[in-house]
Structure 1
């Protein structure tokens, strides 16, 4: 970008947003080691729209940011001119407790939303492993925690969304009531799009009541077949578990299966006791979740994280494949995640050899529906396509969607599947 054009773009942003809201980027603002030119801070939909209109006029490539906890997920962007910081777009706009609905700005930490709605005995059932994660970032990356098993993921809980498109146009989809079905469900399209289709500025979620009592049942299995069988027994039981998680600290170690139950006082404990008897294998009832519950098995700042998925019935095969692949690569892989859904996270130390990680990922991709490299140091991302192979038909559809929503490819260019 010519210097004159660069200066004009920065001046226009400062004039529209205020000089205090625009600054030169520093190395700490890098998106997966790609440093932007400037950072512009906006506090809501209106100012985000103003910033995007100026970005469009000056052909700036833009990456949206909340707390930055997942800014290094996915591909590194091809280039970034402007980092649009929405951390100041913070706050719950409305909590309609009677309708079990909450409306919040995208930069609001999910912990803050949870605190507000819990005052009315309600919960936003997106138990997020990263406590600083914001509403917008959670939608953009499509991340959920253990409770997804019963309550569904972000796509299922999101009922309304406000987005600023690449040209600054503000669009709203859905509404403030759970049964609103008018038009296309664009919230599902934006969920997991990594900021490549629009800048999420507001969201409306459905809520659920907080149960009066919680119990966890836990057991240890020495082999993948036993662990998967226990998870399957729990999944098909009448106990209606909120979540079924597993944890394996090392590839050759034992596998812990843990399920969460919730409901009425006393009755929930009784259900847990009945379930332990049905599962066997020394299952026990816990009053509190284990320490590892709802956490990633990798360091979110320095580690290597993978997400691997199969249908739940294929969990034994996945666990065996993970054990074999880790053994062949010689890597100290840790495993954790939703045994009841067949969606697991794997973790490796950040200094793992890229060639060995490449071998491991290739083996997992051959034995599962997908194996996505969630985050890793740049030297590992240089060796591996984070997203893996995608069918030509699906990739064509995704590219056409990108062309429709962002014709000039200025929003987070290159971060998503196939370099979208």
Structure 2
């Protein structure tokens, strides 16, 4: 431990200022991660302060857990150690916005909602819309690889993130990627950071590719007779000339949560382009629906706000299920059957991007034991299709009983371990919470 005779708390206070360091019981308890209370809660106000705190942690052998809005602290394995919770909420500045280049650089603590409001003044957008996105920090969204309905058109954060500035495990500050779309050098580092949960470096600045806001938008709700009918519609839609911005498959419980008439299954489709094309594609969509035995009707844009709220859980669990696009209907049906078998009385809310084969499952009120059995059954169902099941949120007991990330093949895991050994050999950054306990 290299702290030159001074207490760690005193050194932290010298780095960030006493007002940015909390050591009192109330603050520490409020920053607990899975019940593990940190020794220190630090809210740095600059890149230099982040660097200084991490350098001290490296020298003193402390574990640092980064925090944005705190909305995803139940993602991953329970922590091995939590010495310092590093709250990045005050790094909330838009650093550079180039509307002509369609790029923006921000600090990691900027929320998606704050950035969206600013970009809207020039009719531009960063199409990242997972539940609760408005209040979630962009650094947190990148670290957790969060995505929402818009990925059907625009892809994920791996497609939108151009460059990162991050603090390494020893406190050194490093750039990865570029600020302009025309450069292709260094893009691998940003992609590594997406979904790494801050285990390879602490994100402090991010550069994104932007998109023009569509001139006109429309939402259609396609009601299907059953999950198989929904699959037929999705297959026909994706095989047509229609270019949707969102294609979300949803079950009856989600329809009910959105205060819509309940049916077996439905597909919500958003269209966004010039007004004439939106009208023409809407007419074509109605034809595709009829051709598969479904019925399409227009919905208001407010539908999407209610849809996002449907996946908020309280005292339960939330899963992310990845499968083949051609199997989303069958997977939705299996989720409902499995919950009925293992957790009678629980109504799962199931919905997700049918265009890429990702479903989200909200299970309010489910206990750890049936949730564990459900995860294991669903993993057995999707594994032959190359799928996966991730526990995005749930009680600690569940994430101790079942690996929240699921099994990883030896080859890919060896690569993950090698990266961790290179970026953070001392296991300073969020130790133990990522895949395989990395």
TM-score if structure 2 supplies the norm length? Answer: 0.91
Give the C-alpha shift of residue 6 in structure 1. 11
Is the Cα–Cα contact under 8 Å of residues 94 and 105 in structure 2 kept in the other structure? yes
Deviation track 1:156-215 (CA, whole Å, cap 9, x = no partner) reads 000010010110011101111112111352000010011111100000001001111111
Q: What is the CA–CA distance in structure 1 between the aligned matches of 2:212 and 2:89, rounded to whole Å?
A: 28
Which range moved further: 180-189 or 110-119? 180-189
Indicate the residue corresponding to 2:418 in structure 1. Answer: 400
SS at match of 2:200: coil
1:13 aligns to what?
Answer: 12
Quote the offset at 1:356 in angstroms: 1.2
**Which consecutive unaligned segments of at least 5 residues does structure 2 have?**
255-261
- Structure 2 CA distance, aligned partners of 1:157 and 1:417? 24
Q: Helix, strand or coil: the match of 1:283?
A: strand
Q: 2:88 is matched with which residue: 86, 91, 112?
A: 86
Aligned counterparts of 1:112 and 1:175: Cα–Cα separation in 2: 23
The answer to whether the 8 Å contact 1:44/1:86 transfers is no
Q: Does 1:298 align with 2:311?
A: yes
Q: Distance in 2 between matches of 1:298 and 1:121?
A: 28
CA separation in 1, counterparts of 2:437 and 2:360?
23
Q: Would you say 1:341 and 2:338 are equivalent positions?
A: no
Cα deviation 1:108-129 (Å, max 9, x = unaligned): 1111111111111100111232
Residue matched to 1:48: 50
The 1-side partners of 2:181 and 2:71 are apart by 29
Give matches, 1:14-413, under 5 Å.
14-24=13-23, 25-130=27-132, 131-250=134-253, 254-280=264-290, 281-291=294-304, 295=308, 297-300=310-313, 302-329=315-342, 330=344, 331-349=346-364, 351-368=365-382, 369-413=387-431
Q: Indicate conservation of the 8 Å contact 1:44/1:105, yes or no.
A: no
Deviation at 1:299, TM superposition (A): 2.5
Report if aligned partners of 1:214, 1:262 keep a CA contact under 8 Å in 2.
yes
Q: Aligned-pair distance for 1:153? A: 0.5
Is the 1:249–1:333 contact (alpha carbons within 8 Å) kept by the matching residues of 2?
no
Alpha-carbon separation, structure 1, partners of 2:156 and 2:241: 22
Task: Write the distance in 1 (CA, Å) between the matches of 2:4 and 2:81.
Answer: 17
Asked whether the 8 Å contact 2:143–2:198 carries over to 1, the reply is yes
Moved over 3 A (4+): 4-7, 249-253, 291-294, 300-303
Aligned residues: 418
The DSSP-based 3-state class of the residue aligned with 1:103 is strand
Q: CA deviation at 1:253?
A: 5.8
Q: Give the TM-score, by structure 1 length.
A: 0.95
